[in-house]
Amino acid sequence: MTALSAPSTPEQLAAMSDRAREVVRLNIEALEALERSLDSSIARAADVILSRPGYVVVTGMGKSGHIGGKIAATLASTGTNSFFVHPAEMSHGDLGMLRPDTTLLALSNSGESRELRDPLIFCARNDIPVIGLTQRPQSFLGRHSDVCLTMPKVAEACPNGLAPTTSTLMSLAMGDALAMVLMDRRGFTREDFGLHHPGGSLGMSLQTVREWMGDNAAAPASVPLDADFRTVVSAITEGRKGAVAVLAPDGSLAGMITDGDVRRAFTNDITALHAEDIMSRSPITVDPQARMSDVVDLLSANKISNLFVIDERRPVAIIHIAELMQAGYVS
């Protein structure tokens, strides 16, 4: 068992901090070199992908594979159908994922990864275009690529020049650049992005009120215009939303009574009060097709806790800010 090392001396702490800064600086320099080296090949790669109806299949070995997985996820979330396949798995049956309408995006810093040879040969035999991402355009990958995204040759931050560091960062940046170029060309919108991220805060905010309600939204507590004070209080209590809808004879929303309205009513003779006497006659409401982000904005801007969802003039649900906070719509 390896013994724990003694706490670092001030000199060692300073040296480690300097080394960390050096690594960051080397990465910055690598990205700057990548920016300077970019040419029309990335536009040609985008054209190849846009001309193909099928998926972009991303592959890579080792650290390049990890980066490839992230690139595939970014492509998929920004409008370009994509998934990652391990190159070794391709040699054992998964080459079937390379259909005639797909595009292969292969990553290898050296361009000579043995595991990439089978999928590259398969693509050549079946006229499946290959986009290669490598530092060596004359490598096996480079020679078998229809478009080669060539990264500049820069030193790794690893002192032994072995652990992929600057090279993987450049690969990631190149993948992000390709994804964003494709996103722009497709006209992929904020709403489109939200549809791919229903579990994230953006997707939640772009959700409609009807989607939030679901198929079984509970009808809001309600009382008629002539309901007495006791009935109003009972309805608010049973509804557990701090408010009750006041309905006109035809079932449309005539007003709203909140806990605050009830408290203020105690300054009068409550025995003579009816719902129409204490209700707010112009409550803030939303349509079922409104965005949940609009609901949050209305609640915040008007400093209110709840509002009704109105469909054909009738209240079909009530939204309370506490529910939105619990669900993550409001932080």
Of the candidates 271, 296, 298, 265, the one whose C-alpha atom is nearest the C-alpha of residue 283 is 298
Q: Which residues pair with 58 in a beta bridge?
A: 84, 105
| 86 annotated binding-site participant | yes
Strands (E), the chain: 56-60, 82-84, 103-107, 130-134, 147-150, 222-224, 243-247, 253-258, 285-286, 306-311, 314-320
**CA dihedral defined by 222, 227, 231, 236, rounded to 10 degrees?**
30
Angle at 180 between CA 179 and CA 181, to 5 degrees: 95
Bridge partner residues of 83 (DSSP): 57
CA 4: distance to chain centroid? 42
What is the rounded CA–CA span in Å between residue 32 and residue 153?
Answer: 12
Give the residue numbers of the binding site.
86
Binding-site residue positions for Zn(2+): 86
